Amino acid sequence: MPKVSPERLEATRRRVLDGARRAFAAYGYEGATVRRLEEETGLSRGAIFHHFADKDALFLALAQEDAEEVATLVDDHGLVGAMQKLRDKDAGWLGVQLEVSRRVRTDPQFASLWQHHLRSISRATQARLARQRDAGVVRSDVSIETLSAFLLLVYDGLVAQLATGMPVQHLDGVLDLAEQAVREDPPNDPRS
């Protein structure tokens, strides 16, 4: 049997992930049967499960990839910056996010595994807010934890709205409002 290069293995793994994302977004976790995974990836079940132990491991790999991407975006651009980038996400990415939310609610084992990723996004958000507070940009009358929770709720709501396929009215204004909510009010000018 010929040896497969690491590049070829990674390309096949990426193909599995991309096809699985489409299947999970279109059919949900339960509806993304092995047959549908085969159709979406264009690969056999053997090729798919060479890279992932089972469907659950495949779904978790997608969810982890997304969580890492969001944590990096938050670290680099803040949670509002990450929200601005949501408008560029396709239905597959958004559909997986809905499935993550549903599985967190209905699958205790998945919810337990997922807590690590939620904590990493929360930590990244809180660290950025703390840095901005130290720079005098973020309000000091509300705890970092509360500001982070507020922004995460806005983020989750935006993901849910976009994932339904419904347009978000006045998105720029909503994001401006979220950012203004965490910003320090400029000091009053005594000359005014």
Residue that wins the pLDDT comparison between 71 and 49? 49
DSSP string, 113-141: HHHHHHHHHHHHHHHHHHHHHHTT-B-SS
Domain 1-52 carries which CATH code? Answer: 1.10.10.60
pLDDT at 37: 96
Do 56-182 and 1-52 have the same topology in CATH? no
- The predicted-structure confidence for 134-170, as pLDDT tens digits, reads as follows 999 999 999 999 999 999 999 888 888 888 877 778 8
CA distance to 27, 115, 130, 136, per residue, from 159 (Å): 18, 18, 24, 29
The reported pTM is 0.80
Q: Give, in words, the CATH class of 56-182.
A: mainly alpha
**Domain spans of the chain, in order of start:** 1-52, 56-182
